[in-house]
């Protein structure tokens, strides 16, 4: 199962969602590969990874997957492990080449082709952290994944960005053999003390409820930014066995529940028919 959290709007929780679902799944005993497809390269900082080769080396410099995958960045019980392919600003060179090549089919298929051998590596879950906007790399992400999980932070522009995801996916599907579906909508940074939260949640419900699963929300949690700055996830910071997580652990608890729903494929009921994706 290959999933990318994506919203075309920047700063809406894509990276936070990728990292925490990935780490939660490893702590749940799953084999997880997390791929950074954003030249901002945040994953290496949040997970404190020192490694020379990156996704750019895989896509452009002839490196093999084994050379770019950083193994066992975090571990969990049984076979639980988190492996990561990091990125950095060199990925913008890949983007430039893709734009200059003028070959859209090559552009769109690039990442999928490069990651094809992971099928034999027996991962339970592959997550791709995506950049904002609709860059060539992102189109390539759409072509690679089985589904997109759409985080929506509690503001209007984030809500607009979610619709752009669905439109872009629909447009790309007209031209390419893209199988990706929408795994669901994930409200993030939910803070019921703010009026905008309730109005955004109502808009999400009205617009998407009939078509897509809406996952339980991720609450606002000031410790996310603090942990990230120290090169930690929320689970690193808490340093607890997951059996001892409680709802008081806010986003750490919320992401753990969403991860289980995603892995078990138990999204909320009531999907009638995706309108255009
Ligand atoms: N549930 C939350 N509670 C509080 N802060 C959050 C929450 N989720 C994300 N944030 C904060 O919001 C900011 C943006 O999050 P993040 O980097 O995950 O967004 P992004 O969509 O990946 O951004 P970009 O488009 O730049 O890649 C970060 O500072 C992060 O710590
Ligand atoms: Mg990000």
Q: What is the pLDDT of residues 107-122, one digit of tens each?
A: 788 899 999 999 889 9
Task: List, for residues 128-185, the tens digit of each pLDDT value.
Answer: 999 998 888 999 999 999 999 999 999 999 999 999 999 999 998 998 889 999 999 9
DSSP for residue 107: H
> Which residues lie below 8 Å from residue 221, measured CB to CB, with a gap of 6+?
234, 250, 251, 252
CB count in 10 Å sphere of residue 100: 8
Give the position, in ligand 1's atom list, of the atom nearest the Cα of 132. 25
| Cβ neighbours around 143 below 10 Å, total | 21
Q: Residues 14-25: what's their mean pLDDT? A: 98
The pLDDT of residue 269 is above 70? no
Nearest to 199 by CA among 139, 140, 155: 155
> Does 277 reside within a domain?
no
Distance 128 CA to ligand 2 centre (A): 11
The predicted pLDDT at position 265 comes to: 81
- 143 vs 275: which has the higher pLDDT: 143
Could you give the percent of the chain with pLDDT greater than 90?
83
Q: For ligand 1, what atom is nearest to the CA of residue 153?
A: 8
The CA distances from residue 23 to 127, 162, 244, in Å, are 11, 24, 16
Structure tokens belonging to residue 99: 């734009």
Q: Which domain holds residue 36?
A: 2-264
Q: Is residue 270 part of a domain?
A: no
Ligand 1 mean position, distance from CA 188 (Å): 9
Share of the chain above pLDDT 70, in %: 96
In a domain, 109, yes or no: yes
Token code pair at residue 123: 């991962």
Ligand nearest to the CA of 42: 2
Residue 275 belongs to a domain: no
Question: Taking residues 79-100, what's their average pLDDT?
Answer: 93
How many domains in the chain? 1
pTM metric for this prediction? 0.94
Q: Please check the confidence at residue 56 and state whether its pLDDT lies above 70.
A: yes
Decide if pLDDT at 214 tops 90. Answer: yes
Quick one: pLDDT at residue 277?
37
Asked, for residue 48, whether it belongs to a domain, the answer is yes
What value does the mean pLDDT of the chain take?
92
Structure tokens, 254: 């919320």
Nearest Cα residue to 151 out of 43, 2, 1, 16:
16
Q: What is the CATH number of the domain that holds 182?
A: 3.40.50.300
In a domain? residue 106: yes
Tell me what pLDDT residue 267 has: 54
Residue 271 in any domain: the answer is no
pLDDT tier at 103 (50, 70, 90 boundaries)?
A: confident
Pocket of ligand 1 (CB under 6 A): 10-16, 38, 40, 132, 188-189, 218, 220-221, 224-225, 228, 251
Average pLDDT over residues 18-44: 97
Is residue 273 pLDDT above 50, yes or no?
no
Output phi, psi for 33, to 5 deg. Answer: -115, 130
Q: Ligand 1 pocket: which of 155, 159, 218, 224 to mutate (most atoms <8 Å of CB)? A: 224
Q: Does the residue 33 lie in any domain?
A: yes
Tokens of 141: 């992400």
Out of 18, 20, 186, 225, mutate this one to test ligand 1's pocket (max ligand atoms within 8 Å of CB): namely 225
Q: How far apart are CA 33 and CA 223, in angstroms?
A: 24
pLDDT at 118: 92
Give the Cα separation of 138 and 133 in Å (integer). 8
Q: What's the CA-to-centroid distance between 13 and ligand 1, angstroms?
A: 4
Average pLDDT over residues 39-68: 96
Q: Where residue 266 falls among pLDDT bands split at 50, 70, 90?
A: low
For the beta carbon of residue 244, count every other beta carbon within 10 angstroms: 8
């Amino acid at each position: 199962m290959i999933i990318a959290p994506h919203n075309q709007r920047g700063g809406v929780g894509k990276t936070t969602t990728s990292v925490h679902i990935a780490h939660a799944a490893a702590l749940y005993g799953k084999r997880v590969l997390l791929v950074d497809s954003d030249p901002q390269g945040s994953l290496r900082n949040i997970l404190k990874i020192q490694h020379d080769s990156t996704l750019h080396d895989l896509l452009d410099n002839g490196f093999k997957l084994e050379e770019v995958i950083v193994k066992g960045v975090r571990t969990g019980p049984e076979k639980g492990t988190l492996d990561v392919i990091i990125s950095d600003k060199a990925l913008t060179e890949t983007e430039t080449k893709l734009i200059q090549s003028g070959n859209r089919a090559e552009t769109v298929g690039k990442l999928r082709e490069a990651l094809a051998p992971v099928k034999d590596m027996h991962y339970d879950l592959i997550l791709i952290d995506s950049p904002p906007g609709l860059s060539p790399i992102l189109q390539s992400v759409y072509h690679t994944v089985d589904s997109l999980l759409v985080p929506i932070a509690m503001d209007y522009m984030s809500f607009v960005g979610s619709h752009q995801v669905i439109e872009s996916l629909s447009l790309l599907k007209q031209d390419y053999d893209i199988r990706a579906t929408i795994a669901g909508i994930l409200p993030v940074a939910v803070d019921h003390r703010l009026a905008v939260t309730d109005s955004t949640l109502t808009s999400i419900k009205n617009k998407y409820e009939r078509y897509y699963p809406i996952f339980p929300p991720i609450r606002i949690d000031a410790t996310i930014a603090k942990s990230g700055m120290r090169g930690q996830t929320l689970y690193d910071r808490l340093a607890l066995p997951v059996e001892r997580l409680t709802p008081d652990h806010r986003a750490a608890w919320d992401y753990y529940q969403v991860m289980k729903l995603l892995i078990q494929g138990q999204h909320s009921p009531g999907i009638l028919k995706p309108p255009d994706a």
